[in-house]
Amino acid sequence: MEEMETQEKKKVLLIKLSSLGDVVFNIPLANALKDAGYEVTWLVSERGIQVVEGNPCVDKVILAPIQKWRKRGLKLENFKEYFALIKQLREEKFDIAIDSQMILKSMIWTMFCGAKRRIIAKDAREGSIIGGNEWIDPIFDKGTPIVLNYLKFANHLDAFPANIKVSLPPRSEMVIKKVDKLLAEVDSTKPLAVIAPATTWVAKHWDKDYWRTVVNSIEDDYSLVFTGGPNDKELIDYIRNGKHTSLVGKTDLMDLVEVFSRARVVLAPDSGSAHLAWASEKPAVITLFTCTPKELLAPFGDKKKYIAVGGEGLPCQPCFRRKCPRRKNKNICMTLPSPNEVVKVVQGLKLL
């Protein structure tokens, strides 16, 4: 009986390749589809595979190695792998495909995956709307949390969840032991605060001297740990000023999840780190906004635990642009909010 029920499940392909934050934002959608009885396969790139593979929100994960292809350039091997992946998707015989990436790089996968119903929203960009054969109303509303925007696909399939569920793969014993070693010298008598100040958008960065002010203001109450990639070392070394624990370049995504799960609070700009910390569900998350809309991108849920600071006060905010459009006082949003405002928020978390 159970085998028959499994065979009768409709197969859904969720196409969300990257970035890390966007992949995290789609986890509640995948959970909603699976809880509604669909068999869920996720097509994802290297940037997000660690948070999808082994995640209970999916039944199967298929990797589109986009970064590898880009690194190789125009090589015959790329085209062979590309068409082999299309063949693999078609052999799955999906009933439904959902393109929540909605840009040119996802259009081909949607168009040729073989699904009977190929669903995309009318606000798709870069001509990707032609990859679908079933269109829903525009999903992006800057005044609505992005998690709810993506769940409009679930609503279209009568699969909107009673409770929004985020999930991550379980951490292995190897990951736990690695993080034990990384944090071995951290003072465990004080609560742990993780500071992840870097992101790929320069305009999302908060003033580095403001970060220093916050560090100096909270270091007596918290054990501070800094996280980031190898390219963030100079920035983070400046902010921590030779003090505290730096894990720069020492962690992958699942290591980070384990670090975040041990923290009382995580402070970060609007970044993959902030969203990954939210998905881990354990720490309070303070997200600092500059040019992006916090109503859309702030971690979703308890406003006492997930706090968005900044992102308002200037007529140009939020511009949602990688390069500042102002002629004068360029990137002034990167000096908002004030350090005192952030320190007050951190101090207020003591009551949680």
Closest to 151 (Cα-Cα) out of 262, 32, 55: 32
34 beta partners: none
Q: Do the domains at 2-156 and 173-351 have one common CATH topology? A: yes
In the predicted model, is pLDDT for residue 221 greater than 80? yes
Q: Residue 155 burial (CB < 10 Å; 0-12/13-18/19+)?
A: middle
Q: Where are the beta strands (DSSP E) in 64-155?
A: 96-99, 117-121, 134-136
Query: pLDDT class for 351, splitting at 50, 70, 90?
Result: low
Domain boundaries, the chain: 2-156, 173-351
CATH number of the domain at 173-351, out of 1.10.3720.10, 3.30.56.10, 1.10.30.50, 3.40.50.2000? 3.40.50.2000
Q: What is the mean pLDDT of residues 282-305?
A: 97
This prediction has a pTM of 0.94
Q: Mean pLDDT, to the nearest integer, of 194-215?
A: 97
pLDDT over 80 (residue 29): yes
Angstrom distance (rounded) from CA 275 to CA 287:
9
Q: What is the domain class of 2-156 according to CATH? A: alpha beta
